[in-house]
Chains A and B, each alone.
Chain A
Amino acid sequence: MSSIKIKLKDKDVEQIKEICGSFNNQAGELINVLHKVQGVFGYLPAEVQEVVASELNVSVAKVYGVVTFYSFFTMIPKGRNPVSICTGTACYVRGAEKVLEEFKKELGIGVGQSTPDGKFSLTCLRCVGACGLAPVVMVGEKTYGRVSPDGVKDILKEYED
């Protein structure tokens, strides 16, 4: 798994320590701690994992093992405009796969990745409860319905600076 090198600020470290402390620095709470920390930072870079490991007194390898085991955890920061394509049953049969391919092509990234400029990231999700609008795409909080591969460019255009 690739990782992005960052330098944590003192207040970031303090915040991680606080979260660990709220779980009494219990090694058994590793997953819960990581969940909270990812909630704060949006992702779990190596440097963050190192602080968590030292606070909970477990090895960094073990923390990394947990982070890579659960697909919920990510070491890649989300883009400023996270694109999520619903690949639930209804969206899938209405062509979500083709829409996804178009997003991959346009953004030049795969699922779970972010564009180098940090503007977009791409993920898949299952059912947002708008099956009547299938296939559905979300960018941030905004929902797009009946998306066709041809419409992908237009959606992305909305997020030009």
Chain B
Amino acid sequence: MDMIKLIIDKKPVEVEKGTTILQAADKIGIKIPTLCYLNLGGFNIENKPGGCRVCVVEVEGRRNLAPACATDCTEGMVVNTHSIRVLNARKTVVQLILSDHPFDCLVCAKSGNCELQDLAHKLGIREIPFQGEQSTYRKDTSPSIIRDVDKCIMCRRCEVMCNEVQTVGVLSAINRGFQAVVAPAFEMNLDHSVCTYCGQCVNVCPTGALTEVDHTNQLINDLADPEKVVIVQTAPAVRAALGEEFGMKPGTLVTGKMASALRELGFDYIFDTDFAADLTIMEEGTELLDRLTTYLNGDKTVKLPILTSCCPAWVKFFEHQFPEMKEIPSTARSPQQMFGAIAKTYFAQKINVDRKKLVVVSIMPCVAKKYECSRDEFKVDGNPDVDYSVSTRELASLIKRANIDFMALPDSGFDSPMGESSGAAVIFGTTGGVIEAAVRTAYELHTGKPLPKLDFEELRGLEGMRSATIDFDGLPINIGIAHGLGNARKLLNEIKEGKSHFHAIEIMACPGGCIGGGGQPYIHGDTSILQARQKAIYNEDAGKTLRKSHENPDIIRLYEEFLGKPLSHKSHELLHTHYFDRKKEVFID
């Protein structure tokens, strides 16, 4: 490997050929400010259009300033990252960006989390000397995501996520010059496009140009309404990330504090989506075994591999992109929707309240869940099973608004009968978790023997695509895992071409799975946070005595009292769904 010696801010540094000035500086602890640049280490995601010019540095012997993110180091280079010329140039660059940016920081959804705001503060900007026309564009509101393009700084990060990582291809820069914006094809609204609402664009947007639809005010009103019984369910990945919003170390589990905070907020019943995750495993695991045994008994019309169906962005992805394969995914609804369906039937009967008076709210690491609960097939006479979904970020905002001292809260538990869950349900929050949970149950149901070991290390990790063969007592089961829709696409293409050897595949739309969901606290490019969240989730599982879905006593009771058995008529009615061909649904305004 060719090595290069250079000097940055009077410090010598040696780097491999092909290293940028930005990376070389980082190596010796010099953080050059950036704006459009984004590097999600470990996920092979990099955006360096060299467009914003915030990272400019002075290179001796070079006439103009160099963008550090897009300039390779050369032998003997002498770099100054904070000369007067550099500082002035950076300031001017940000002032020029701000001259075409709305001044509504005080009421902007991104305030406090905005990288442009941070930069303006860091560079000591107190005035914007440039006055002129500001670009204006209509606001685009979809069920999950709001596009406010006036706040777009054309960093193109969302384009990289949408096109290269997720391969969804909704967002692209269009027009030129002052008119340039990032928009879907033909400037259609997001809800007319093939957008999956995965929210990865929201996660990487440095400003408030892309944000989630906010349901907090509706929630406050419902909580205050004495006529309404408000039920909350919390997804597994939320408890591994919520603490970050209160300054806790990434990877701190706050399950108990979260339950207490929800109680303080005034919810009538604090339940757990994990309960429904166990239910999902009962249905999906049984479906897997069903399909598998029928196939092994010689019926080759059975569709294999079976694909998981918990992730609403993934569901919308295949409905648009692979509608011809819509019979392959499991028909099991997601845990969010299973929870809603059971809450508004089984539980409504138990407490003798009409479903119209029940408000089921979900706390999700996701923005696609907002869209999912609005889908027509999850409504009964127009009344949705889950009324609306709020993100981890929105919950944190609510807790702060209600003046609850989160750190001082005692731990408390979930209510019964939809609060008990297994460790298998907890790991739904990370890539590989759903399939591991399914294996734990399917193995025992199939073999009739207890599993010798519950931890399937071979299914864990953060690589984009993974595979393993699990021995079901002499029957080898091939399992595939993909997270990030670009990786999912690769597996789907293999299936389409008849090359797939998998029996079951788990797919999550977001890199990392739900821990990296579009509704989680912003990580600002620090992927070690995702690793910490993942670790926390596996720790919560390991710490539980109940670690298999089919051993959850509340689930056993639910089947005894209400559903009968997995894949029963009632289960099909309440817990399963069907998919739509959305290829022709996209339309031009």
List chain A positions with a Cβ less than 8 A from chain B.
Answer: 1, 3, 5, 46, 49, 58-65, 68-69
Residue pair B588, A59 in contact (C-beta under 8 Å): no
Contact A64 B588 (CB under 8 A): no
Q: What distance in Å separates the Cβ of B242 from its nearest Cβ neighbour in chain A?
A: 34
Q: Is the CB–CB distance between B185 and A60 below 8 Å? A: yes
Q: Contacts of A68 on B, CB cut-off 8 Å?
A: 174-176
B172 within 8 A of A: yes
Q: Interface readout for B136-175 with A: 1 if CB under 8 Å, 0 if not?
A: 0000000000000000000000000001000011111111
Q: Does B103 contact A (CB under 8 A)?
A: no
- Asked if B186 is at the interface of the complex by the 8 Å CB criterion, the answer is yes
Please tell me if the beta carbons of A61 and B588 are within 8 angstroms of each other in the complex: no
A3 close to B588 (CB less than 8 A): yes
Within 8 Å CB of A69, what residues of B?
173-176
Chain B residues in 8 Å Cβ range of A58? 169
Is the Cβ of A1 less than 8 Å from the Cβ of B187?
Answer: yes
In the complex the two chains form, is A61's CB within 8 Å of B176's CB?
no
Residues of B within 8 A of A49 (CB): 185
Q: Which of B168, B171, B175, B588 contacts A46 (CB 8 A)?
A: B588
Query: Knowing A5-B588, A62-B163, A69-B176 touch, does A46 contact B170 (C-beta < 8 A)?
Result: no
CA distance A63 to B173 in the complex (A): 10
Bound CA span A63–B170, Å: 11
Q: Does B49 count as interface, using CB distance less than 8 angstroms?
A: no
Classify the secondary structure of A's interface with B. helix
Whether B176 lies near A63 (C-beta < 8 A) is no
User: Among the listed B163, B168, B185, which residue makes an inter-chain contact with A64, where contact means beta carbons less than 8 Å apart?
Assistant: B185
> Residue B323 at the A interface, CB < 8 A?
no
Which residues from B are CB-within-8-Å of A5? 588
Report A62 CB to chain B, min CB distance, Å: 5
Closest chain-B Cβ to A4's Cβ sits at a distance in Å of: 10
Residues of chain B lying within 8 A (CB to CB) of residue A3: 186, 588
Residues of A within 8 A of B163 (CB): 59, 61-62
Asked whether B176 lies within 8 Å of A60 as measured between CB atoms, the reply is no
**Residue of chain A at shortest CB distance from B183:** A61
Within the complex, the shortest CB–CB distance from B320 to chain A, in Å, comes to: 12
Interchain CB contact under 8 A, A61 and B170 = yes
Task: Provide the bound-state CA to CA distance between A59 and B172, in Å.
Answer: 9
Query: Can you list 22 A-B pairs, Cβ within 8 angstroms, ordered by A?
Result: A3-B186, A5-B588, A46-B186, A46-B588, A49-B185, A59-B163, A59-B168, A59-B172, A59-B185, A60-B185, A61-B163, A61-B171, A61-B172, A61-B174, A61-B184, A61-B185, A63-B185, A65-B172, A65-B173, A65-B174, A68-B174, A68-B176
Min CB gap A74→B, angstroms: 13
Q: In the complex, are the beta carbons of B175 and A61 less than 8 A apart?
A: no
**Given A46-B588, A59-B163, do A64 and B169 touch, yes or no (CB 8 Å)?**
no
Given A5-B588, A46-B588: A60 in contact with B187 (beta carbons within 8 A): no
* Shortest beta-carbon distance from B569 to chain A in Å: 42
Asked if A59 and B174 sit within 8 Å, CB to CB, the answer is no
Interfacial chain A residues near B170, Cβ < 8 Å: 59, 61
B167-198, CB < 8 A from A: 168-176, 183-187
**List of A residues within 8 angstroms of B183 by Cβ:** 61
